Structure 1
Amino acid sequence: MYPSDLTDSAWKVIEEILADKRKRKHSLRVILNALLYVTKTGCQWRQMPNDLPPWQLCYYYFSKWRDDGTWLKINQKLVKRRRVKAKREASPSVGVIDSQSVKSSEWGVPHKGFDGHKKVNGRKRHIVVDTLGLILIVVVHAANRHDSKGARKVLERLAKQGYERLSLILGDSAYGKELAKWAKKTLKLVITAIKVSELAGFQVVPMRWKVERTFSWLNWSRRLSKDYECDCSSAESFVYLANIYRISRKI
């Protein structure tokens, strides 16, 4: 048993989503615990401890649930469950958007670029969180892609997730008027940009600090300390796994 293992209450929620009663040598709960172990410790697939299921089996389920959207579905269900427990509506009405540039490994990583502002050669994790800091959606793309362009894909995916109350997205000045017009016309979302220059002296930017805190939380999962994934969808899956781990401690 490892500290990253799922609690019984979290597993009950996930078990309902998976809806798989087939008998197997290694239960799905054990496999998911192994994937959370990899996420939390940053362990390489082939270096997984012998008391966990074979790494080939764990990678099979990781990629299977990545490709069929299971990670996103689990994340959404847990977000709603966590919000209800916090005495909030299951669907948020406000989201906060931002991106984080991270270095990529030196070889074997396509779809990367140089972020001239952050001086980082790698990828961007583009996320939208609710007011509790829970990740609603993530898109990973090359770091040289401007936030306003990357945001379109993020918001398009978010609009398909069934958060029916979501109507307002807060961001920084990178998400300008052109994006706001597009989002309002296409997705019925209002984007409000808060410029730091509008604030006198040093102040915590209202609401925006919540997404920065989420990025800080992600750094506690060592698999996310650097982008080691060949495919962007795998990088997105590990972000969802980190969010699933954090929520599982609270439900």
Structure 2
Amino acid sequence: MTRKAYSTDLSDSEWAILAPLIPPAKSGGHPRTTDMREVCNAIYYHLKTGCQWDMLPGDFPPSSTVYSYYRKWQKYGIWEELNHTLRDKLREKLGRSTQPTAIAADSQSVKTTGKKGDVYGFDGGKLVKGRKRQTIVDSLGLLLKVVVSEGNAGERVLAAYALMELLEERPELLEKVEVIWVDSGYDGDKFALAVWLMIQAHVEVMRRTNKEFEVLPKRWVVERTFGWFNQYHRLSKDYERLTEMSEAAIYAVMTRIMLRRLAV
């Protein structure tokens, strides 16, 4: 790499972890000439700084090339797959089973840069016009599933939907789950029954004891995950027209966070 280094660049040890997971070029045809490490560096620069694609520094590959890979990997579920693979590696490094026994669910409401078609609404509880990120994490705060929806979507419905999606895509991740930690917004017998029928897990509601700010035990893990999101300017708002691109950005951010921890 002959260009100047950016703080978002992958280190040699981080790239050594990520490189084998990058989808190979198609067989036949013209050989791949694009530097995939630089493509990943450009994507992570974009996510961290929040710059527009066409405003990427000129020493990266062309922005059209970078975006093409970013979009293609979203289309084929590569970002979500990378998230799962790196999470398993990190849990193993920390001496944990790849199958969590406790998970947490919560939603984060974020503003959009304008009305985003039908996937847009007003969250009356948090007084935010925009979208809602329904997130499910393990006890380390590592992402299992995220679903982006309109801001006025019900949290219990979204959480049940996210669990159902995860159960369909990766049932092994939920086989050993015994408890799901939630706040009072997810309280209710119907939600608890739905969770039990899907994954035979107990719903544990963490309730505040007063109206003052309070760090709830076991619930802070998902709040910390939202804090990680907020360190990346591309996630400060929902800038995407398509919700699947919003979800891809979150999975991509998590891959960067986990690579840094894996390389230590």
Q: TM-score, normalised by structure 2?
A: 0.88
User: What pairs with 1:47-196 in structure 2 (closer than 5 Å)?
Assistant: 47-108=55-116, 110-159=118-167, 160-161=169-170, 162-163=172-173, 164-175=175-186, 176-196=188-208
Q: How does 1:236-251 map to 2 (within 5 A)?
A: 236-251=247-262
Asked whether the equivalents of residues 102 and 122 of structure 1 are also in contact (C-alpha less than 8 Å), the reply is: yes
Judge conservation of contact 2:9–2:45 (CA < 8 Å) in 1: yes
Identity between Structure 1 and Structure 2 (%): 36
Does the CA contact (< 8 Å) of 2:102 and 2:177 recur in 1?
A: yes
In structure 1, the residue matched to 2:20 is: 16
Note the alpha carbon deviations across 1:76-125, whole angstroms, 9 max, x for none.
11111111111212222111110000000125554010001111000011
Alpha carbon RMSD of aligned pairs, Å?
2.0
SS in 2 for 1:79: helix
Residue type of the partner of 1:20? P
Paired residues of 1:109 and 1:231 also in contact (CA < 8 A): no
Deviation at 1:238, TM superposition (A): 0.8
Letter in 1 for 2:244: S
- Where 1:250 maps in the other structure, the secondary structure is helix
Could you tell me how far apart the structure 2 residues matched to 1:12 and 1:91 are?
25
In 1, Cα distance between equivalents of 2:60 and 2:198: 46
User: What's the secondary structure of 1:174's corresponding residue?
Assistant: helix
**TM-score (structure 1 length as normaliser):** 0.92
Q: Aligned partners of 2:23, 2:114: CA distance in 1, in Å?
A: 40
Cross-structure match for 1:228: 239
Provide Cα deviations, 1:158-196, integer angstroms capped at 9, x if missing partner. 223231433321101222221110121133333222222
Counterparts of 1:89 and 1:51, CA distance in 2: 41
Q: CA 1:149–1:15 in 2, change beyond 3 Å: closer, same or farther?
A: same
d(CA) in 1 for partners of 2:12, 2:88: 18
Structure 2: state its 5+ residue gaps: none
Gaps of 5+ in 1: none
2:227 maps to a residue whose letter is S
In structure 1, the residue matched to 2:46 is 38
- Taking structure 1 as reference, are residues 158 and 8 closer, same or farther at Cα in structure 2, changes over 3 Å only? farther
Change (3 A) 1:115 1:2: same
Letter in 1 for 2:160: R
Contact 1:110–1:231 under 8 Å retained in 2: no
| Cα pair 1:7 1:248 within 8 Å, conserved | no
Aligned residues: 250
Q: Give the 3 Å change call, closer, same or farther, for CA 109–52 of structure 1 in structure 2.
A: farther
